Amino acid sequence: MKPKSLFFLFFYPWLSFAQTNSSNNLDSIQVTKIYDTKEYSAFTDLLRFNNAFYCSFRVGAKHAGYEDYGKVRIIKSLDGNNWESIAELNIKNLDLRDPKLSVTPDGRIMVIMAGARFNSDNLVNDLYPMVSFSNQRGEDFEDPTKVVLDPNINPSKDWLWRVTWNNNVGYGINYQLKENSRDWSKLDKDAWLLYLLKSNDGKSFESVSQLDIDHLPNESTIRFDKNGTMYVLVRRESAGKLGVLAKSSYPYTNWSYTNLDFRLGGPNFLFLNDNNLVIGTRNYIKKASTSLLVTNLDGKVLKKIELPSGGDTSYPGMLVHDEKLWVSYYSNHEGNSSIYLAQVPLNKLK
């Protein structure tokens, strides 16, 4: 079945905002709202493909929960201003969550996402990765299908949160819920497990190694430096809830870990240069916001920029294009949860 496509354009005027830390001199950062409907829109990603921008996110009645069967929306823009909705992915009675975009070695857009079902207490009954692929024009996305996971990790409730391709191999961190409870303080610190998986086709994944991170590790993003060293940014949900930066060289079976001094929510990051990372995450200090953190390679924060946001917010998509960092994210600081796009000149991150 061909996914439903909605052919209309969204355009919103540039938003102006004041920055509390005037030393950052953020006047040249541009932020626009690129999707705003009655739907609850959240959990974004951003991709540059065939000279166009693609933004993916979940739409539903609310953030999550029983009988809120979220769908995946994908919108496209040639200039970052005018956006066209090109796909809606949905599976009956299944909540599709956190769609993440990548380009496969054969030149198609891959959408990795979770399929979830909740019980009446809003606890997870079922959780497994789903995947969809476009054609090589970046159109006509396939219906999502269930990903095949290595039986050696004993699949149960699994979330392959993002896939990053390197040398024609797709790598992702799968977090597995061995125990499931609303009260995380009552869970054992090893109740959730973290595995590095790899794939040649994006449809089936084999286990590479298990990461030795406790205190409920979950959402994780992989990036590679120019030497092929793998960096993994990991969110945690118990104890101090502080994030972890893990590193490993090929074949990615021996790991080193650095405990960060800040929490993560919807973590994403890129290499800004040979010596620095730029991390996109939810900021939990004072008030919730979507923030950019410039750090060294060990995650020490050197600079912070808060984007216009608040309330339920974060899950940024990030890419570098035309000497700018482009950041998609969601926020409900203006009312209903909507999708925003920021353009940050790279010289503001130095």
* Strand positions, DSSP E, 151-238: 158-166, 169-177, 192-199, 204-211, 217-224, 230-236
The CATH fold assigned to 12-262+330-349 is Neuraminidase (2.120.10)
Bridge partners for 194 per DSSP: 175, 211
In angstroms, rounded to a whole number, what is the distance separating the alpha carbons of residues 160 and 272? 25
Please tell me the predicted confidence (pLDDT) of residue 27. Answer: 64
Question: What's the pTM value of the predicted model, to 2 decimals?
Answer: 0.92
Amino acid occupying residue 330: Y
To the nearest 10°, the Cα dihedral for 25, 27, 32, 33? Answer: 60
Distance CA(8)–CA(293), nearest Å, equals 35
User: Can you tell me the distance from the alpha carbon of 173 to that of 195, in angstroms, rounded to the nearest whole number?
Assistant: 6
Q: What is the per-residue pLDDT for 306?
A: 96
Residue 198 corresponds to which tokens in the numbers above? Answer: 């790899």
- In the prediction, which pLDDT does 16 show? 33
Cα separation, 36 vs 30, whole angstroms: 18
- Where in the chain are the domains? 12-262+330-349
Structure tokens at 110: 């891959």
Lookup result for tokens 């990615």: 252
Residue 37, helix vs strand vs coil: coil
CA distance 257 to 269: 17
Separation between Cα atoms, residue 182 and residue 101, nearest integer Å = 29
Neighbours of 181 (CB within 10 A): 11
- How high is the pLDDT of residue 323? 96
List the chain pLDDT tens, one digit each, 350 residues.
333 333 333 333 333 333 333 334 456 899 999 999 999 999 999 999 999 999 999 999 988 888 899 999 999 999 999 999 999 999 999 999 999 999 999 999 999 999 999 998 888 999 999 999 999 999 999 999 999 999 999 999 999 999 999 999 999 999 999 999 888 889 999 999 999 999 999 999 999 999 999 999 999 999 999 999 999 999 999 988 999 999 999 999 999 999 999 999 999 999 999 999 999 999 998 889 999 999 999 999 999 999 999 999 999 999 999 999 999 999 999 999 999 999 999 999 99
**Residue 165 exposure: Cα atoms within 13 Å on the Cβ side:** 18
Whether residue 264 contacts residue 256, with contact meaning beta carbons closer than 8 Å, is answered with: no
Query: What is the C-alpha separation between 41 and 62, in angstroms, rounded?
Result: 8
Residue type, 71: K
DSSP lists the bridge partners of residue 55 as 46, 75
CA 260 to CA 244: how far, in whole Å? 5
254 vs 155: CA distance, rounded Å: 23
Give the C-alpha separation, 134 to 89, whole Å.
Answer: 11
